[in-house]
Amino acid sequence: MTMNSRQATVISRDGTAIAFERSGTGPAIILVASALADRSDTAKLARLLAPHFTVINYDRRGRGASGDAADYAVEREIEDIAALIDHAGGSASLFGSSSGAVLALRAAAAGVNVERLALYEPPFVVGHDGFGPPADFARNVTSLLARGRRGEAVKYFMTEAQGMPAFMVTMMRLVPGPWSKLKAMAHTLPYDIAVMGDTQRGEPLDAEPWSRVTAPTLVLTGGKSPAGFHDAARALAGILTDCRHRTLPGLNHGAVVMAPKRIAPVLIEFVTADGHPVPDRNGHGGTHQ
Across 109-126, b (16+ Cβ under 10 Å) vs e yields bbebebbbbbbbbbbbbb
Given a cut of 80, is residue 278 above it in pLDDT?
Answer: no
Is pLDDT larger for residue 101 or for residue 128? 101
Mean pLDDT of 194-218: 96
- Using an 8 Å Cβ cutoff, are 28 and 89 in contact? yes
AA letter at 115: E
What pLDDT sits at residue 130? 84
Per-residue pLDDT band at 159 (split at 50, 70, 90): very high
Mean pLDDT of 30-56: 97
What pLDDT sits at residue 274? 56
Mean per-residue pLDDT of the chain: 92
Give the residue among 118, 134, 56 at the shortest CA–CA distance from 263: 118
Q: pLDDT tens-digit profile of 89-126?
A: 999 999 999 999 999 999 999 999 999 999 999 999 99
Q: What angle (nearest 5°) sits at the alpha carbon of residue 8, between those of residues 267 and 263?
A: 15
Given a cut of 50, is residue 172 above it in pLDDT?
Answer: yes
Out of 13-22, 155-164, 192-201, 270-279, pick the least confident: 270-279
Collect all residues with Cβ–Cβ distance below 8 Å to 228 and sequence separation of at least 6.
123, 125, 126, 127, 129, 131, 132
Given a cut of 60, is residue 286 above it in pLDDT?
Answer: no
Is pLDDT larger for residue 81 or for residue 284? 81
- Rounded alpha-carbon distances, angstroms, from residue 113 to 28, 93, 171, 226, 237: 12, 8, 42, 32, 20
Give the residue among 182, 191, 176, 174 at the shortest CA–CA distance from 150: 182
* Spatial distance between the Cα atoms of 181 and 125, rounded to a whole number of angstroms: 28
* Spatial distance between the Cα atoms of 28 and 88, rounded to a whole number of angstroms: 6
- Rounded alpha-carbon distances, angstroms, from residue 85 to 49, 80, 237, 239: 17, 9, 25, 26
- Using an 8 Å Cβ cutoff, are 101 and 122 in contact? yes
SS3 176: helix
Given a cut of 60, is residue 1 above it in pLDDT?
Answer: no
Across 22-38, b (16+ Cβ under 10 Å) vs e yields bbbeebbbbbbbbbbbb
Per-residue pLDDT band at 146 (split at 50, 70, 90): very high
Per-residue pLDDT band at 3 (split at 50, 70, 90): low
Q: pLDDT tens-digit profile of 71-92?
A: 999 999 999 999 999 999 999 9
Q: What share of the chain is helix, strand, coil (3-state, %, to 5)?
A: 40, 15, 40
What pLDDT sits at residue 148? 97
Give the residue among 28, 26, 157, 13 at the shortest CA–CA distance from 79: 13
